[in-house]
Amino acid sequence: MSEDVQSRIDALVNQHTVLVFMKGDRDFPQCGFSAQVVRILDSMLPEYMTVDVLQDQTIRDGIKEYSSWPTIPQLYLDGEFQGGCDIITEMYQSGELQQKLSSKD
């Protein structure tokens, strides 16, 4: 990954408390996995940031290398990678995600 892409991703991850790299955006997810993560976050948060990887191939490829995670969506909380759809769903069902998000209040 180029330094430019690394810097762009670093800036996004560090600028937003809750950030999702996804296909589409919060209002119009472009895949079922992204839609699932949006449904979960929408049930708990009034605001969070999304990045549509379909709009920028360098971000789409770069985020996979950045996180060492091969799939999208990807959730970051306070700059820390949490996981993809399956992990976020498990965290939500166990209450772990709610705990992590409530500590942001």
Residue 20 in 3-state DSSP?
Answer: strand
Place of tokens 């430019």: 4
Measured in Å, how far apart are the chain's first and last C-alpha atoms?
A: 35
Phi, psi of 81 (to 5 degrees): -65, 130
Residue 82 in 3-state DSSP?
Answer: strand
Instruction: Convert the pLDDT of each residue in 49-84 to its tens digit.
Output: 999 999 999 999 999 999 999 999 999 999 999 999
Q: Which two tokens stand for residue 18?
A: 């809750």
pLDDT of residue 102: 87
What architecture is the 3-102 domain classified under in CATH?
Answer: 3-Layer(aba) Sandwich (3.40)
What is the bridge-based pairing of β-strands 24-25 and 49-52?
unpaired
Average pLDDT value over all residues in the chain: 95
CB 66 within 8 A of CB 60: no
Q: Which amino acid is it at 67?
A: S
Domain boundaries, the chain: 3-102
Q: Which two tokens stand for residue 60?
A: 């789409």
